[in-house]
Amino acid sequence: MALYGFARLADQVGDAHPGDRGDRLRVLDALEADLDRAFTGNARHALLRDLTPVLQRRELPREPFARLIEANRRDQRVARYATWAELLDYCTLSANPVGELVLQLAGAATPERLAWSDAICTALQVIEHSQDVLEDCEAGRIYLPGELLAAEGCPEADLVKAPASPALRRVLARLAGRARALLRSGDPLVPSLRGPARLAVAGFVAGGHAALDALEAAGFDVTSASVAPARGRVARRALGLWAGRASR
C-alpha cells in the first residue's frame, strides 16, 4: 500500500496538479527531494512518511522510485512517441519500476526475474495506452508510435473519432500482438515465485491477457466505449497461471 500510495502521488502530481507544466515540474522536483528525505527518515509528505519504514525494513533501492518521478517529468515534456523503441524507453520509467519494487518486496529480485518482470510491466503499459487512446489524446498526449500510425495510414484525427476507424483498429491490433508477445515472454516469472507474490503476479499477467482478449472482442474499437475485461475471465486466467499452466 505504501508503494501504491507513492506511485499514485507521482501520477497525480504529473497529471492532476493545478497549474502549468512548469508548476508540475517544480512539484515533481519537490517530490523527489522528499523521496530523498524519506530514505533518511525525514519526509514531510504523509505518503512519504508511510513509505519510510518500508524503505528501511526492506532496504529498497532509490532508483526505481526516481524513475517513476522521471516518467511524469517526461509526460510534461513529451507529447508524441515516434517509434516503438521510444515507447519502450518510456515504459522503463513509467511501468517497469513497479514490478521491480514488487520483486524487491518479495525478496525475489534476481536478474532473470527482473527481465521477465520488465517484459510483463511494459506489456501492461502498452495495453493501457491502447485502452486509453481517446483519454490520452484529449489530454494532449499520443502514446501510439507515430511509425505505426503512418504505416497504417492513421491520422491523429482518427484517435478521437467514434467508432474507431479501420486504420486505428489495425494500429491497435499490431500493438496488441506485440503486447501479447511481451506477456508470454514474461510467463516464466509466475511459476518461479512462491506464496502471495506468485498469486499477485499471476493476477497482473492474467489481467493483461484478459484485457487483450476484450480489445480483440471489441474489434479494437476503443473510441466508442471503454473496453475492459470481465472479472471472471481474469480470475480464471490467474488461477491457471498460478497453477502453472502457460497462457495462450
For 200-237, letters b (16+ CB in 10 Å) and e give bbbbbbbbbbbbbbbbeebebbbbeeebebeeebbeeb
Clarify whether residues 246 and 123 are in a common domain. yes
Choice among 44-48, 163-167, 215-219, 228-232 with the minimum mean pLDDT: 228-232
pLDDT digits (tens, 9 = 90+) for 61-72: 999 999 999 999
Which pLDDT score, from 0 to 100, does residue 22 have? Answer: 73
Query: How many domains are contained in the chain?
Result: 2
- CATH code of the domain covering residue 106: 1.10.600.10
Q: Are 106 and 122 in contact (CB under 8 A)?
A: no
Report which DSSP code applies to 142: B
Higher per-residue pLDDT: 13 or 205: 205
Which of 15, 47, 77 lies at the terminal end of a domain, its last residue?
77
Clarify whether residues 67 and 181 are in a common domain. no
pLDDT digits (tens, 9 = 90+) for 35-57: 999 999 999 999 999 999 999 99
Which pLDDT score, from 0 to 100, does residue 211 have? Answer: 94
Please state, rounded to an integer, the average pLDDT across all residues of the chain: 91
Choice among 70-79, 125-134, 195-204 with the minimum mean pLDDT: 195-204
Omega before 163 cis (within 30°)?
Answer: yes
Given a cut of 90, is residue 15 above it in pLDDT? no
> Which range marks the domain in which residue 29 is found?
1-77
Given a cut of 50, is residue 248 above it in pLDDT? no
CA angle 81, 127, 154 (to 5 degrees): 50
pLDDT digits (tens, 9 = 90+) for 92-150: 999 999 999 999 999 999 999 999 999 999 999 999 999 999 999 998 999 999 999 99
Clarify whether residues 113 and 172 are in a common domain. yes
pLDDT band at 19 (very low <50, low <70, confident <90, very high): low
Which of 26, 52, 77 lies at the terminal end of a domain, its last residue?
77
Higher per-residue pLDDT: 230 or 221: 221
